[in-house]
A = this chain, B = another copy of it.
Amino acid sequence: MNTYGRIFRVHVFGESHGERVGVLLDGVPAGIPLSVDDFRADLQRRKPGASGTTPRKESDEPVLRSGIFQGKTTGAPLLIEFLNENIRSKDYAHLQEHPRPGHADFTARHKYGGFADYRGGGHFSGRLTLALVAAGVVAKKICNPIHIQAQLITAGGNPNIEEAVAKAIHDHDSIGGVVACSAQGLPIGLGEPFFDSLESMISHAIFAIPAIKGIEFGSGFQAAAMRGSEHNDALIAADGTTASNYAGGINGGISNGNELHFRAAVKPTSSIGKTQESFQFAQQSVQPLEVAGRHDVCIALRVPVVVEAVTALVLADALLIAQQRSPIHHEKN
């Protein structure tokens, strides 16, 4: 299912080396001012360009195809598309029989019986995060004035990010990283007990981002080594303010009005310059594999804005749902 959301619904589509990628948004409230300019800042943050990012060049110009009229959303489905311009299909033809380690080549081949578009990962490509970022731009408007901010805090295991990237480039290798995300201004009450806990929904969306290996809220894995007396956040005001924030802004699956805070682990890019080994189906044996194509050395550099985007998708949907879950005061039933 390429869909997220109950009220504000996001459907992604497209392939890395197909004609286009995009997103169809349904349940967008009417009357939101929206133009292609609104997308530029976030799309720019996702773009390659910095040292350690792919040399593939795309204009990444969003086109609004439906659901918009006279500069505002109409309440009808909003279709946003991006053309793929810098396609090199030939780079990938041999991979159909020789799956790249760490990629979805093998699982996609099996799941879709050999019919999947294998070029550059096809539908599984990180290029689809372009659609996520575009959806996030709309979602952020719905979330307004909630402010969501994500950044890369370590790469290759240490906070000196540029240095770690430079070393990986030199070694023709790749590195991972950790992205921290926070959101201020959440109302109390987003999320629901059990299966739609705010952590459930955020983690669901975060793991839709390729290369994510873990997520932790507030104290996270450190909580496992803490004591209750230390970990419990004392409530110190009627508005829900707590003295500490080990909870990461969530109690019982529901936002408590403090800052939402979580971290996500990004694995090292699977495509690397070094020669690897993988099973070759035509020859029925393990063979050396060179992954040509164009790839990021540290994909984590481009992930923060994607993390912000999917967090916004979750919060936008939760906000719209929460509006009508407030108690009903029946005078005379």
Contacts and interface: CB of A to CB of B under 8 A. Distances in A.
Interface string A221-250: 111111111111111111010100011100
A29 B199 CA distance: 22
Given A1-B192, A2-B192, A210-B252, A320 B327 contact: no
A15 B76 contact: yes
Contacts of A324: 7, 29, 319-321, 323-324
Nearest to A202: B207
8 contacts: A1-B196, A2-B76, A2-B195, A30-B115, A67-B123, A106-B256, A221-B221, A223-B265
B203 A267 contact: no
B65 A19 contact: yes
Nearest to A240: B106
A111 B254 CA distance: 8
A12 interface: yes
Contact of A224 (B75, B219, B265, B281): B265
A242 B278 CA distance: 9
Contacts of A274: 228-229
Contacts of A176: 223-226, 231
A75 B286 contact: no
Interface stretch (A44-52, A54-62, A167-175): A167-175
A213 B218 contact: yes
A270 B234 CA distance: 11
B101 A235 contact: yes
Interface string A103-122: 11111101111111100011
A160 interface: no
Given A19-B65, A103-B252, A213-B221, A227 B173 contact: yes
Given A199-B207, A276-B229, A31 B251 contact: no
